[in-house]
A and B are shown apart, each in its own frame.
Chain A
Amino acid sequence: MTIPDDDSTKRKRWTHLRRVLERAGPFKDPNFEPSTELLSGIESVRILIIGAGGLGCELLKDMALMGFCRIDIIDMDTIDLANLNRQFLFTKTDIGKSKAEIAAKFIMNRIPNCNVTPHMNKIQDFDASFYSQFRIIVCGLDSIVARRWINSMLVSMLQYDENNQVVPTSIIPLIDGGTEGFKGNARVIMHGYTSCIECTLDLFPPQVNFPQCTIANNPRLPEHCVEWVTSILWPKEKPFGPGVNIDGDSVEHIQWIVEHATKRANEHNITGINFRFTQGVVKRIIPAVASTNAVIASICATEVFKLATSSVLLMNNYTMFNDIEGIYMLTYPPEKREDCPICSNVPVRVQINETAKFQELVDQLIEKYQLIAPLICTQIDGQSKTLYMTSTQQMLELTKPHLRMTLQELGLTNGIEMLVGDPARASSMRVIISLTSSMETTTAK
């Protein structure tokens, strides 16, 4: 049973939205023209939601109730019991099933006329032709790598005019949200106009890594004991057989870690090891509550609605939220980096000593651009040459010896351009080497 899809019912149903679509006001976007057509305009806008987790469930509901009817949602994950305290489109009977599929089904049942297409995939499974179908892309991810990947994908799809300016029609706005406990952030990214994910990598909290000597010799906190078990004892003892890696969701695995971490803790007079704590350290669990997800997703959804309708001005363009002590929200535009390796559209330059080994260059690139497993190619005398590649065993063996060679030996001369690919990027980055003489660097030091 459902409501008729005729025009007058539809108009009645969306009265709330129509007031801001069919009337103008002093806070409208300069491009806004109030119209009765806008409502059906929203219906035809294609939206892509990336992630069907805490933010994704909220986003799907919010978008559907803001009048959007053509939504795609991507998530490769399946539903887990620990999701249910916030991922409200799932119930206990859905555990183990695809998040994207169950979320889509729930929304289409609850909100007839809304079409949701689920994709149980990784974002990397799709190419530019897939992403170019959408007017707006919204992200509710917990992975920084995935964010960087989609960011660089959208940049690679941009077109530039003769003055190297982004052609506005080639921009697919990216709305990105993130939460951690009672804190969250949301932003609107218009490549070429605002800062992008890569411009502001330092906005993400740094990963906590304990020094090796603390883990091995000087544990002080319970987490040091857990890390000792996972990084030293597990590889040594192989408690579940050779080649079996730690599964943070396996009760047996965690119990084994708890047992041995407790032993180590007791030996050192350290307290505080228990199952929940241990699993938290092993899985690097980020706490999450329903309310923060609701808040951050709603900001994203409001901005998508504004982008699609121009009914009021967009936010500018990054907002931080926190509701631990009172409620706090600050919005500001982070600076767009002129030398951003992703969105600046100019090759980046790397300075390196002419006598350096290739390893030093790789290390510098990894550190400077936070790469994960770079693939480096170049053209020498018109011949393309793979300098470094780790994704297959064969190529790793072939290119590993390069690390110990000098740049000169490899034929990397001053001003040569390399292409650097990485799992965190959908497209390669152009890097130009500028060699410094050993004299200069010594004096600089």
Chain B
Amino acid sequence: MSKSSIPCTKQIQYDRQLRLWGDHGQRALESGRVCLIGANALGTEILKSLVLPGLGSFTIIDHQLVTIDDCGSNFFVHPSMIDQSRARVTCELLTQLNPDVHGIYIDKPSIDDLLQQNTFDFSQFNVVITANLSINTLNILARHLWILKIPLLVARTYGFIGTIRLQVFEHYVIEVHSDDTIPDLRLDRPLITFVNYCNSIDFKSLTREEHLHLPSIIILFKTLQLWQEQYNSKNLPQTRLEKDEFRKILDQLLHHSAYDTHDKEKLLENFEEAKRTIPSRLVKTHLPSTIKDLFQDRSCLELSHQTNLFWFVIHAIKLFTENEGQGLLPVRGEVPDMITNTISYIKILKIYQEQATKDCEIVNKYFFDLLQKYNRLPDECIIACDLVETYCKNAAFLRVLRTTAINSENYLIDETESNRSWYTCLHLCDLFYEKFRRYPGEFLSDETQFETDLIDLKQINRKLDSGKDLTSDSKQKFLEELCRYGASELHSIAALIGGCCAQEAIKLITHQYVPIDNTLVYNGIEQSINVFKL
């Protein structure tokens, strides 16, 4: 890594996001293919936040023509384009945002006909997104995609309310990028090389300078050794009493004969750091329950020729854990910064990095043995090297997301959670649509129509709730408010759901960050979001 190359135009253009998902995340995004059904305000806002960061390609399916009210909500139409194909117009204006992105549109046949003919290949997409698609069409599409195992994001806005539902058969999260992770230092199950290094430091013969620069992790480990000796224990201090004793020992180590008052005034930053970091450094090292579940997953246990590579790596990590790892995951190989001199810090960093490399090599060997056993060589081995390293670094956070299918949803569970009630009430609007082919309150000119719609909507609610016709006051209020909205697409609400939904698509495409599991309700009145499982 001597000379670094100057970034090219594309790297500068995407600089601010490459710092988040890296060059490999960008490559994944650039080969990503997304299908959008519905080029309305919501649909185009979703695509906007995918086209700008450089998605590979998108396909818009929409058979409608641009209307005058599109011009009051959709940014990717122009009044001069009224009565033209909305799919074509929005496709053109969206690709203008970023010439790197390839856009295709289908304005004939309609999505309903497309599904009926059953000739269109949805399996070419990484993810299919619907924007305000009507319930009947959605149900057919969702069933179809569930069988194909293609992820589906169902986005919707309705007045000040918005929702996103994710249906995914199986999604792998490889890099979580969690905000608060506890460093993988294993003071309770120390690396042999680390123990040797610590033992090579003789506390009694340290010079004043060495003592002042002693890394806090060494201080903690030395204290732990002394504490364990004193208590004849192999564990970490747990009870209050034990922890107090631990601190006492730490305080004893703090003294050095050569310290003058000036040193004391500086508060001995390294010892202060040791005390401050006790909660995050002195933690039990264990196998996270999430990864335990992955090890026991049928896909991990029963590898086959078709199994996704993900499960091969999981199986390889499992073998490592059961053998060389002695019940633990591969070492992550990262050491947080601490107040010390260069040599001490780099020494410790190298100890952890070398162990991480060793562990990774072992996992890699298991992985290749498995690939060979199941006849997956040689086509997969080219990509595999970096892959295993990434998996090992993130081993503690690997996850699988499997949602329920949309068709098996049970809408009727009424929850006290108010935002969940919005979702239930929106379903009633869908039932209204099924019956009348329009949404309640959609017609604006006629006030009596509004009243009739509201009565009909409440009627539908009562039918569903038969037996317990005492519907809560708040639900009545929600229905009335939704009737007021009449399925209006307010642009700012579409922009919010658009941003969220685009980011969920990026998560699905890059396998970085964690998608919602599995239903989101956005309440634009109080500005709140709830996510719950259906």
Q: Which residues of A are interface residues toward B (Cβ below 8 A)?
A: 1-3, 9, 12-20, 22-27, 58, 61-62, 65-67, 81-82, 84-86, 88, 91, 110-112, 181-182, 186, 214, 217-221, 251, 255, 258-259, 262, 268-271, 273-276, 278, 280, 285-295, 297-299, 301-303, 305, 312-313, 315-316, 319, 321-331
**8 closest Cβ pairs, A-B complex:** A294-B499, A65-B491, A298-B495, A329-B529, A25-B484, A315-B527, A295-B499, A298-B496
CB < 8 Å neighbour of A182 from B20, B96, B159, B515: B20
Cβ contact within 8 Å between B496 and A218: no
Cβ contact within 8 Å between A255 and B15: no
Task: Decide if B308 is an interface residue (CB 8 Å cutoff).
Answer: no
Task: Decide if B371 is an interface residue (CB 8 Å cutoff).
Answer: no
Cβ contact within 8 Å between B491 and A66: yes
Residues of B within 8 A of A3 (CB): 68, 71, 79, 82
Cβ contact within 8 Å between B18 and A312: no
CA distance A258 to B490 in the complex (A): 48
Residues of B within 8 A of A12 (CB): 68-69
Listed by A's residue number, 19 A-B pairs whose Cβ atoms lie within 8 Å are A9-B68, A20-B484, A26-B480, A62-B492, A85-B16, A88-B48, A214-B339, A262-B4, A286-B16, A289-B20, A290-B52, A290-B499, A293-B499, A295-B495, A295-B499, A302-B527, A326-B516, A328-B531, A329-B529
Task: Decide if B517 is an interface residue (CB 8 Å cutoff).
Answer: yes
Cβ contact within 8 Å between B513 and A66: no
Write the B489-516 contact mask toward A (1 if CB under 8 angstroms, else 0): 1111101101110111010000001111
Task: Decide if B345 is an interface residue (CB 8 Å cutoff).
Answer: yes
Nearest-neighbor residue (CB-CB) of A275 within chain B: B4
**Among B5-13, B239-247, B296-304, B355-363, which stretch is in contact with chain A?**
B5-13
Shortest CB–CB separation between residue B396 and chain A, in angstroms? Answer: 14
Nearest-neighbor residue (CB-CB) of B176 within chain A: A325
Task: Decide if B481 is an interface residue (CB 8 Å cutoff).
Answer: yes
Task: Decide if B526 is an interface residue (CB 8 Å cutoff).
Answer: yes
CB < 8 Å neighbour of B52 from A88, A258, A316: A88
Nearest-neighbor residue (CB-CB) of B531 within chain A: A326
Shortest CB–CB separation between residue A305 and chain B, in angstroms? Answer: 6
Task: Decide if B126 is an interface residue (CB 8 Å cutoff).
Answer: no
Cβ contact within 8 Å between A15 and B69: yes
Nearest-neighbor residue (CB-CB) of B177 within chain A: A324
Shortest CB–CB separation between residue A280 and chain B, in angstroms? Answer: 6
Nearest-neighbor residue (CB-CB) of A110 within chain B: B78
Shortest CB–CB separation between residue B352 and chain A, in angstroms? Answer: 14
Q: Which residues of B are interface residues toward A (Cβ below 8 A)?
A: 1-7, 9, 11-20, 41, 45, 48-49, 52-54, 68-69, 71-75, 78-80, 82, 96-98, 159-160, 176-179, 213, 337-342, 345-346, 350, 441, 444, 450, 477, 480-481, 484-486, 488-493, 495-496, 498-500, 502-504, 506, 513-517, 520, 522, 524-529, 531
Cβ contact within 8 Å between A302 and B5: no
Cβ contact within 8 Å between A218 and B490: no
CB < 8 Å neighbour of B503 from A1, A182, A330: A182
Cβ contact within 8 Å between B19 and A331: no
A14-B72, A251-B6 in contact; A315/B526 too (CB < 8 A)? yes
CA distance A162 to B127 in the complex (A): 62
Residues of A within 8 A of B11 (CB): 276
CA distance A298 to B493 in the complex (A): 7
A16-B73, A288-B16, A289-B16 in contact; A302/B340 too (CB < 8 A)? no
CB < 8 Å neighbour of B484 from A19, A65, A91, A328: A19
Cβ contact within 8 Å between B484 and A23: yes
Cβ contact within 8 Å between A291 and B49: yes
Quick one: which of A1, A19, A27, A315 has the most chain B CB within 10 A? A19
Cβ contact within 8 Å between A301 and B495: yes
CA distance A77 to B160 in the complex (A): 34
CB < 8 Å neighbour of A327 from B13, B486, B531: B531
Cβ contact within 8 Å between B341 and A218: yes
Nearest-neighbor residue (CB-CB) of A1 within chain B: B80
Cβ contact within 8 Å between B80 and A2: yes
Cβ contact within 8 Å between A275 and B484: no
A13-B69, A26-B480, A262-B1 in contact; A327/B500 too (CB < 8 A)? yes
Residues of A within 8 A of B517 (CB): 326
Cβ contact within 8 Å between A290 and B527: no
Cβ contact within 8 Å between A319 and B527: yes
Cβ contact within 8 Å between B97 and A305: no
Shortest CB–CB separation between residue B477 and chain A, in angstroms? Answer: 4
Cβ contact within 8 Å between B499 and A291: yes
Residues of B within 8 A of A217 (CB): 341
Cβ contact within 8 Å between A15 and B444: yes
Cβ contact within 8 Å between A298 and B492: yes
Shortest CB–CB separation between residue B497 and chain A, in angstroms? Answer: 9
Residues of A within 8 A of B484 (CB): 19-20, 23-25
A110-B75, A331-B526 in contact; A292/B499 too (CB < 8 A)? yes
Cβ contact within 8 Å between A302 and B493: yes
CA distance A319 to B485 in the complex (A): 24
Residues of B within 8 A of A111 (CB): 71, 75
CB < 8 Å neighbour of B342 from A15, A25, A220, A324: A220
CB < 8 Å neighbour of A329 from B74, B179, B338, B528: B528
Cβ contact within 8 Å between B2 and A289: no
Cβ contact within 8 Å between A299 and B503: no
A182-B513, A268-B346, A323-B513 in contact; A19/B488 too (CB < 8 A)? yes
Residues of B within 8 A of A316 (CB): 526
Residues of B within 8 A of A251 (CB): 6
CA distance A295 to B444 in the complex (A): 29
Residues of B within 8 A of A218 (CB): 213, 340-342, 345
CB < 8 Å neighbour of A290 from B49, B516, B520: B49
CA distance A279 to B528 in the complex (A): 37
Cβ contact within 8 Å between A262 and B19: no
Cβ contact within 8 Å between B500 and A291: yes
Residues of B within 8 A of A330 (CB): 528
Nearest-neighbor residue (CB-CB) of B93 within chain A: A110
Residues of A within 8 A of B73 (CB): 16, 65
Shortest CB–CB separation between residue A77 and chain B, in angstroms? Answer: 15
Cβ contact within 8 Å between A299 and B527: yes
CA distance A271 to B4 in the complex (A): 12
Cβ contact within 8 Å between B17 and A85: yes
CA distance A149 to B52 in the complex (A): 32
A299-B496, A323-B500, A324-B179 in contact; A294/B527 too (CB < 8 A)? no
CA distance A322 to B75 in the complex (A): 25
Cβ contact within 8 Å between B491 and A19: no
Cβ contact within 8 Å between B6 and A86: no
Residues of A within 8 A of B53 (CB): 85-86, 289-290
CA distance A19 to B445 in the complex (A): 10
Cβ contact within 8 Å between B72 and A15: yes
- Known pairs A217-B341, A294-B48 / 4 extra A-B pairs, C-beta < 8 Å: A16-B72, A17-B490, A271-B1, A289-B17
CA distance A186 to B243 in the complex (A): 42
Residues of B within 8 A of A322 (CB): 179
CA distance A433 to B528 in the complex (A): 44
Residues of A within 8 A of B78 (CB): 110
Cβ contact within 8 Å between A27 and B16: no
Shortest CB–CB separation between residue A142 and chain B, in angstroms? Answer: 11
Cβ contact within 8 Å between A81 and B72: no
Cβ contact within 8 Å between A62 and B345: no
Quick one: which of A14, A218, A289 has the most chain B CB within 10 A? A289
